[in-house]
Amino acid sequence: MSQSQGLLRGTPWKAIVLFSVPLLIGNVVQQLYQFVDAMVVGRHLGVLALASVGASMSLLFLITGFAWGMTSGFAIPVAQAFGANDVKGLRRSVAAGAILSALSSLLMTLVGTIFIRPLLQIMQTPPELMDDAVTFGFWSFLFMFTLVFFNFLAAIIRAVGDSRTPLVFLVIACLLNVVLVILFVSVFEWGIAGAAFATAVSQLTSVLLCVLWVRARIPVLHMSLDDWKVTMPELREHLNLGLPLGFQTSVIAIGTIAVQVRLNDLGPDAVAAFTTAGRVDGIAVTFLASLGLATSTFVAQNYGARQIERVKHGVRQALIVSILVSIAIGLALFVLGGVFVELFIGSEQPVVLGMAHDALKIYSVAYWTLGILFVVRGSLQGLGHMKPPFYSGIAELVMRVFTAVVLGAAFGFIGVAWGAPLAWVGSIALLIPSYIVISRKLEERTYRQGPRTEEIEVLSAPLLAEKGVVADPTILQGESFEDVRTGAIPIVRDRGETGQFPALDEADLFDAGEHPSEDSESEQR
């Protein structure tokens, strides 16, 4: 397998940050096109139109968030198979994920287009926002397959170590979307539907570009007919990873819907202010989200390669970077948040502007908790542990509903705005202990299972001694005993011309039992 090995080599934090840079740029570009989207709608169609988009976006986030989380979960076994050099397993994982993505996109399209109006009515959407919210939601759900498959294909390409190519295609799609939304809304005057059409066309373009790139440049993802003959156990395995991650995102979205219901009670100004603050907040936290996704891929690849110590070091270093950056972002947003808000709605709406800036100030003081959340949650997902992130999503839901119902009733808009920081705190209260417990078990589990890679680069004499194996010191000359891979220790046969240490499986070490017999120990010597 010859795709990028960057996450398996070098200093962990540098590898993670470098991998996250294209993700960051992609997220920023995506947020910027949403920024332009909101600017065109808000400036050309008015504040009520912008509020209508915001009223339907919380419902769309419930579905699209599920799709994003699910497809990210489908990519985890792909990254693990890539780290383990398992080409057959990788391709079958891609096939299973593609089949499930197609079925889920069809289901989401049917549910969304049929029930958009009743769902918005349940959310108590104000009458003056209803028609535009239904229009925007209907067309967005109709083209849901474009979003699902771009997320899936981008996740698969990133899973094999390429985070740059999805960025290029995303930039192309976003630039196209900017041109189209101006054309459809301002020139053709298609209203809210024009904004939805622009997004659909740009996403479809990115899907086609991903498919063409895979066919032309990524041989490891070239599928045969046999690869598509996936079994039910394989589909269940991917569902066990994708569904919890999808439901986790959806649970958070349900909390967002609860918040939206409270905002609808507070009136259009509150809806517009919260929508605008959310746009600015989305841009502000893009690096944190990108770092979390990069950490997840880093952990999945290195866990597949059984480089457990590298996994632990990488997570610790990513946490430090994330916390430092989140503090800097919080300070900048606390001071300059009002400037960004004014770009959306101008200075003619002082009430909305002031409310949105107040919300941003509340978010900014708690960004450090969000930095921790993204990295720890991404690490657990990369290890294939989906239950802790799911339960943390439940904690977020509880906190968001609590703030919407209780604090929103008591303190109005400010009470609702506190929902996000309290949700972040509730989430990490579950994630951190879970990661500590799971990480302590990793080395022991890997030691029992043995290495998945065909070669091992560094061999430690002390670790060999623990197994009762005596290594020839001349073989190990010049190697650093501090830079070793954990797990079942292979016996050195011959370094050969490659400079690598070909390894035997643990079964070759010991014929039976956990410890070697005296005879086998003599043979090994």
Query: Which range has the worst mean pLDDT, 154-163, 172-181, 434-443?
Result: 434-443
223 or 347, greater pLDDT: 223
* Tokens of residue 46, six digits: 């008015």
Asked if pLDDT for residue 494 goes beyond 80, the answer is no
Residue with tokens 């032309």: 216
Question: Can you say how many angstroms the Cα of residue 368 is from the centroid of all Cα atoms in its chain?
Answer: 18
Query: Which range has the worst mean pLDDT, 42-46, 118-122, 196-200, 315-319?
Result: 42-46
Taking residues 128-156, report their average pLDDT.
Answer: 90
Q: What angle do CA 159, 387, 240 make, to 5 degrees?
A: 60
Most confident segment among 4-13, 65-74, 109-118, 468-477? 109-118
Per-residue pLDDT reduced to its tens digit, 454-480: 333 333 444 444 444 444 343 333 333
Is the CB of residue 364 less than 8 Å from the CB of residue 334? yes
Is the CB of residue 136 less than 8 Å from the CB of residue 194? no
Predicted confidence at residue 92, as pLDDT, reads 92
Taking residues 493-516, report their average pLDDT.
Answer: 35
31 or 284, greater pLDDT: 284
Predicted confidence at residue 471, as pLDDT, reads 42
Predicted confidence at residue 93, as pLDDT, reads 92
Predicted confidence at residue 495, as pLDDT, reads 32
Per-residue pLDDT reduced to its tens digit, 232-251: 988 988 888 888 878 777 77
Question: Measured between alpha carbons, how far is 26 from 119 in angstroms, rounded to an integer?
Answer: 31
122 or 256, greater pLDDT: 122
Asked if pLDDT for residue 481 goes beyond 50, the answer is no
Query: Which range has the worst mean pLDDT, 27-36, 148-157, 291-300?
Result: 27-36
Asked if pLDDT for residue 228 goes beyond 80, the answer is yes
Taking residues 412-435, report their average pLDDT.
Answer: 90
Per-residue pLDDT reduced to its tens digit, 290-334: 899 889 889 988 888 888 889 999 999 999 999 999 999 999 888
Label residue 46 left, alpha or beta by phi (over 0 means left) and psi (-120 to 50 means alpha): left
Share of the chain above pLDDT 90, in %: 23
Taking residues 27-36, report their average pLDDT.
Answer: 71
Give 443's pLDDT tier (boundaries 50, 70, 90): low
The model's pTM is: 0.65
Average predicted confidence (pLDDT) for the chain: 78
Q: Which of 206, 252, 245, 196 is nearest to 29 (CA)?
A: 206
Per-residue pLDDT reduced to its tens digit, 279-300: 788 778 888 888 998 898 899 8
Q: What are the C-alpha distances in Å from 402 to residues 58, 264, 396, 449?
A: 17, 16, 10, 45
Question: Can you say how many angstroms the Cα of residue 523 is from the centroid of all Cα atoms in its chain?
Answer: 49
Taking residues 99-124, report their average pLDDT.
Answer: 89
Predicted confidence at residue 344, as pLDDT, reads 67
Is the CB of residue 272 less than 8 Å from the CB of residue 50? yes
Asked if pLDDT for residue 263 goes beyond 50, the answer is yes
Predicted confidence at residue 36, as pLDDT, reads 74
Query: Which range has the worst mean pLDDT, 336-350, 371-385, 457-471?
Result: 457-471
Question: What DSSP string describes 156-205?
Answer: HHHHTT--HHHHHHHHHHHHHHHHHHIIIIIIS--THHHHHHHHHHHHHH
Predicted confidence at residue 318, as pLDDT, reads 94
Give 119's pLDDT tier (boundaries 50, 70, 90): confident
Dihedrals phi, psi of 456, to nearest 5 degrees:
-130, 135
Predicted confidence at residue 373, as pLDDT, reads 94
Contacts 24+ apart (CB under 8 A), 230-239: 230/92, 230/95, 230/96, 230/99, 234/92, 234/93, 234/96, 235/96, 235/99, 235/100, 237/77, 237/96, 238/73, 238/74, 238/77, 238/93, 238/96, 238/97, 238/100, 239/100
Most confident segment among 109-113, 271-275, 303-307, 503-507? 109-113
Give 143's pLDDT tier (boundaries 50, 70, 90): very high
* Tokens of residue 115, six digits: 């029930």
Is the CB of residue 277 less than 8 Å from the CB of residue 362? no
CB neighbourhood size of 182 (10 A): 18
> Using N-to-C axis directions, what is the helix angle for 144-159 and 192-217, rounded to 10°?
30
Is the CB of residue 199 less than 8 Å from the CB of residue 145? no
519 or 267, greater pLDDT: 267
Asked if pLDDT for residue 50 goes beyond 80, the answer is no
